[in-house]
């Protein structure tokens, strides 16, 4: 999360709802991040924890969504 917050164009990271269950997010390694979609003001994403999925919202500067999504894929 701190690496994402430190990126140029990222205003902040908001932690959302957590979904438990070992079967959720099986395609994502623990600690992995998957961008779900662009929304007004930023990016919706999920991260895999040892106990399930955690929703996050990455608040971005206007017009920076694509560049930030591409940079996150390289992490």
Which helix (H) or strand (E) element contains residue 66? helix 65-73
User: Higher-confidence residue: 30 or 43?
Assistant: 43
The domains of the chain are located at 2-73
Say if residues 42 and 58 touch (Cβ distance below 8 Å). yes
The whole-number pLDDT of residue 48 equals 84
The whole-number pLDDT of residue 49 equals 80
Residues 6+ apart with CB under 8 A from 58: 4, 10, 13, 42, 43, 45, 68, 72
pLDDT digits (tens, 9 = 90+) for 8-40: 999 999 999 998 865 655 666 778 889 999 999
């Amino acid at each position: 999360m701190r690496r994402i917050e430190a990126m140029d164009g990222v205003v902040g990271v908001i932690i959302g709802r957590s979904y438990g269950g070992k079967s959720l997010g099986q395609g994502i390694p623990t600690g992995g991040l998957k961008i779900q979609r662009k929304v007004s003001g930023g990016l919706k994403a999920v991260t895999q924890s040892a106990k399930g999925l955690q929703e996050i919202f990455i608040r971005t500067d206007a017009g920076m969504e694509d560049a930030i999504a591409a940079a996150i894929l390289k992490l």
